Amino acid sequence: MKFLRNLLAAIIGCLIAFGILFFMFFLLTALLGSAGDEVVVKENSVLQISFTEPIYDYQGGNADDPFAALFEQGQGLDKILHAISVAKNDDKIKGISLTQGFLMSGLAQTQEIRNALQDFKTEGKFVYAYADYYGQQDYYLASVADKVFVNPQGLMDFKGLASEVLYYKKLQEKTGLKMEVIRHGKYKSAVEPFLADEMSAENRTQLKELLTSVWDAMLVDIADSRKLSVSELNTIADTLGGRTAKMAVANGLLDGVLYLDEYENTIKETLGIAKDKKVNYVELGDYIKSANNKNKPKGSNKIAVIYAQGEIMYGDGSKEIIGQGNMQEALKKVREDDAIKAVVMRVNSPGGSSLVSDMIWREVELTKAKKPVVVSFGNVAASGGYYIAAGANKIFAEPTTITGSIGVFGTIPNIHEFTNEIGINAEQVGTNANSVDYSVFEPMTEQFRNQVLESIEETYDTFLDRVATGRGMSKDEVNDIAQGRVWSGIDAQKIGLVDELGNLEDAIAAAAELAELKEFGIKKYPKFKSEFEQMMEGLSGAKVKLGEQIIKEELGADNYMRLKEIKAFTEKRGIQARLPYDLNIK
C-alpha cells in the first residue's frame, strides 16, 4: 500500500513538473517570437484603429516588457494619444481608418481621443470611420471623421443620454437584509437606493442637469464636425431620426451606407491605389510599439505625471485601485527628486475611503510646498477623487468630466430581522459600557448611530475645509455647491471647482509654465505590478478571474455589473467620500 502511495505521488509530481516545463517552454517561445517582430511601416500606409479592450488612463508597466503583450489587458490612453500624435507627422501614414466595436472607455477619455484625431487631420490627412453599429459614444468618436459610414443593414443609436438607478428598500424589508446608512449632503444619493423606493427630487435634478450638460458638450463637438446645428441634432434625437442607416444618412449624421469591401475601396481610391491591391494597414497596437520612443519631450528637467485611477481604498493600490501605498511612495519620490520641477496628477476616480483620501491629500500638500502641482481630471473626479486634488495649484477638467460630489456617508450591513426570522439569536458580553458597540445581528442603537454621524459630520467639515483652503473660497461658499452634488466639467468651472477646461497636455503645459520650463522630459508614476507578476505571486488569481468570467457569461454583462455594485457596497469599510452611485450613462 505504501509503495502504491509513493508511486502515485511520484507520478503526480512528474505531471506537475512536465506541466511547469511545458508552460515555461510556451512562454519562452512566445517571448522570443514577440521580440523578433519588428513593426515595419510601409509607404502609403493607413493606421488601423479599433478599440476592443478597456481603456485605462495609464497601464503603468514597462513599454519594453515582453510579458506585457502576453498578459496585460486593456490599452493605455497615454500610449494611444502619443501614437496618434506621432502618426500625424509620419510621412508614411496617410490616414486613419477607425473601425469600431463597442467603446470601453469613459466620455472624457473618448473626448481626448476625438481631439487627437481632430489634431491629426490638421496635417491634411484623412480619417474615415466604419461600423456595423454605432452606439452614442461610438458615434461621438466617429463623428470627427471626414467620412462616416455604416453597414447597409447596420443600426445607430442617437436619442440623448439617460441613466438608471436601482432602489432596494422593499427588497430589504422583504428579506430582512439591510444596509444601515448615515450620510451628510442632501445630494449624497450613493445611499439613497437603500433608503427609498424612488428617486428624490434633489437626485433627479442633479442627474438631469448633469446628463444635459454632458450631452450638450457632445453635441457641440458633433455639430462642428457634421456641419449641423445643436438644435438640428436635438431634433434628430427627439424624433429618432438616426434609427436606421438610411435615415441617419438623410439627416446628415452619416455619409453613406457601405459594405466593408466597398469601404475598403473608398480608402484605396483616396490613397490612389488599384482596387485589386491591398491597403498597407498598420494596427494601432503595433504602431504604439513603433511610436513609443518617438517625439517625446526631452530635457534634463522633468515634469512628473502621477496617475490616480480607480476607487480609493486602503492598501498599496494597483492600476484599478488608488491606495495610499503607491501614491505616497510616488509623491515622496517626485518631491525629493531635484530633477523634477513640477508635478501633474491625473485623477480618474469616483472616490472611496475618506481616510485614504486625506492621506493622499496630505502628500499632495507636502509636494506642493516644494514644487507646483497641477491636476488633470479624466472621466470622473468625484468625492474622494476631488478631495485628493483640492489643494493643487491648478485644476483642469474635460467638459464631460463628472466631478464635485463633496459629501460623505457610511454604510453598515445589518441582518437582525433576517436572523431573527430564521431563529438565530446573538448575545453579547463586554467589560465596559461601550465595549460592545455594534453587531450586525442586533438593531443599531441610537447611541452608535450618533457616534457614526458625529464622525461623518467631522469628516464633511474637514472636506469643506480642504476645498475652501485649496480653492480660495469660504466654507459657506463650498457648502452651497457641495452637499454631495455632482457637476459636469463645464459647470464645475463656472462654480469655481475647476480652473480651466482642458486635457492632460494642457495640464502639463500649465505645470511647465508655473515651473518656468521651456524644455523638459516626462516621468510617469506609479509603477504597477504587471499581470504576469501578479499571476506568479498568486496563481489562485487565475481561478478568481475564471470564476468571474463564468458568472459574467451566465448573468450577462448588465446583470453582472449590478451584482458587483451591490457586493461593493456591502464591502465598504469606514466613512466613504464617493460618487453617488455608479453612473452608467447610455
At 345-379, the pLDDT tens digits run 999 999 999 999 999 999 999 999 999 999 999 99
36 pLDDT more than 50: no
Q: What is the pLDDT of residues 397-430, one digit of tens each?
A: 999 999 999 988 888 899 999 999 999 999 999 9
Question: Highest-confidence range of 61-70, 498-507, 530-539, by mean pLDDT?
Answer: 498-507
| Catalytic option among 383, 405, 488, 530 | 383
217 pLDDT more than 80: yes
**Per-residue pLDDT band at 35 (split at 50, 70, 90):** very low
The 3-class secondary structure across 409-474, one letter per residue, is EEEEEECHHHHHHCCCCCCCCCCCCCCCCCCCCCCCCHHHHHHHHHHHHHHHHHHHHHHHHHHCCC
- The answer to whether 541 touches 534, Cβ cutoff 8 Å, is yes
Mean pLDDT of the region 445-469: 93
Q: What is the pLDDT of residues 258-279, one digit of tens each?
A: 999 999 999 999 999 999 999 9
Which helix (H) or strand (E) is 5 found in, with range?
helix 2-36
d(CA 403, CA 467): 13
Selected residue with higher pLDDT from 516 and 63: 516
Mean pLDDT of the region 530-555: 52
**Per-residue pLDDT band at 79 (split at 50, 70, 90):** very high
The pLDDT score that the predictor gives to residue 583 is: 60
Q: What's the topology of domain 45-159+240-291?
A: 2-enoyl-CoA Hydratase; Chain A, domain 1 (3.90.226)
Q: Could you tell me which residues come within 8 angstroms of residue 34 by beta carbon, excluding any fewer than 6 positions away?
A: 66, 69, 70
CA distances, 530 to each of 35, 68, 315, 328, 545 (Å)? 18, 7, 17, 20, 15
233 pLDDT more than 50: yes
477 pLDDT more than 60: yes
The pLDDT score that the predictor gives to residue 534 is: 54
CATH 3.90.226.10 maps onto the chain at 45-159+240-291, 302-529+572-578
- Tell me the average pLDDT of the chain: 87
| Catalytic option among 188, 368, 371, 572 | 188
d(CA 559, CA 553): 10
Task: Provide, rounded to the nearest whole percent, the portion of the chain with pLDDT above 90.
Answer: 67
The pLDDT score that the predictor gives to residue 226 is: 98
The pLDDT score that the predictor gives to residue 351 is: 94
Per the annotation, the verdict on 42 as an active-site residue is no
**Per-residue pLDDT band at 253 (split at 50, 70, 90):** very high
42 pLDDT more than 50: yes
Quote the pTM value. Answer: 0.85
Per the annotation, the verdict on 383 as an active-site residue is yes
Beta strands in 23-107 (DSSP E): 45-49, 55-56, 75-76, 93-99
543 pLDDT more than 50: no
- The answer to whether 225 touches 143, Cβ cutoff 8 Å, is yes
216 pLDDT more than 70: yes
d(CA 267, CA 104): 26
Looking at domain 302-529+572-578, its CATH superfamily turns out to be 2-enoyl-CoA Hydratase; Chain A, domain 1 (3.90.226.10)
Task: Provide, rounded to the nearest whole percent, the portion of the chain with pLDDT above 70.
Answer: 81
**Per-residue pLDDT band at 548 (split at 50, 70, 90):** low
The pLDDT score that the predictor gives to residue 398 is: 96
DSSP 164: -
The cell numbers describing 416, all together, are 437582525
DSSP 158: -
Q: What is the pLDDT of residues 124-142, one digit of tens each?
A: 999 999 999 999 999 999 9
Selected residue with higher pLDDT from 156 and 437: 156
